[in-house]
Amino acid sequence: MGSGKPHDPEKQRLAEIIERLNDLYGAEVSDKDQLHFANGIADRIERDESVMAQVRSHSEDKVMHGLFPKKIIDAVLDALNDHEELSMPVLEDEKAGRAFALLILRLLAGRSARIEEGEQGRRV
């Protein structure tokens, strides 16, 4: 009988991340949304070469005792600000809201078309 834990190292890593995110956020936010948020913050941090140089060259403990935690807070605040700036026109202006809805509709249609093309390619 298995232990119920993933054997694939990547799946194990994701399971650990999700477990930690659940510890932080509970069940109020879906695992997928939590991962999306964490990946977005990681992407922001990754663009800061000085921070990444520290991450690559120092131990986890040393990085966590340096400026890294503050950089995370800065990235979260930047993300919050960016999301607010992106959200407010959609929420405050009906025309902008409809234009954004149309944009999302077209994005979804494009995704669906790619998925269907992929499925048709596998059937051939």
Average pLDDT over residues 25-39: 86
In a domain, 28, yes or no: yes
pLDDT (tens digit per residue) in 55-106: 999 999 999 999 999 999 999 999 999 999 999 999 999 999 999 999 999 9
Residue 66 backbone phi and psi in degrees, to 5: -100, -145
Mean pLDDT of the chain: 87
Structural contact between residues 6 and 15, judged by C-beta atoms closer than 8 angstroms: yes
User: Does residue 124 carry a pLDDT above 50?
Assistant: no
In a domain, 1, yes or no: no
How many beta carbons lie within 10 A of that of residue 65, not counting itself? Answer: 11
In a domain, 3, yes or no: no
In a domain, 27, yes or no: yes
Q: Residue 10: which pLDDT band, with cuts at 50, 70 and 90? A: confident
45 closest CA partner among 20, 79, 96:
79
The domain in which residue 24 lies consists of 9-68
pTM for this structure?
A: 0.70
In a domain, 63, yes or no: yes
Number of domains in the chain: 1
Q: Residue 5 corresponds to which amino acid?
A: K
In a domain, 90, yes or no: no
In a domain, 99, yes or no: no
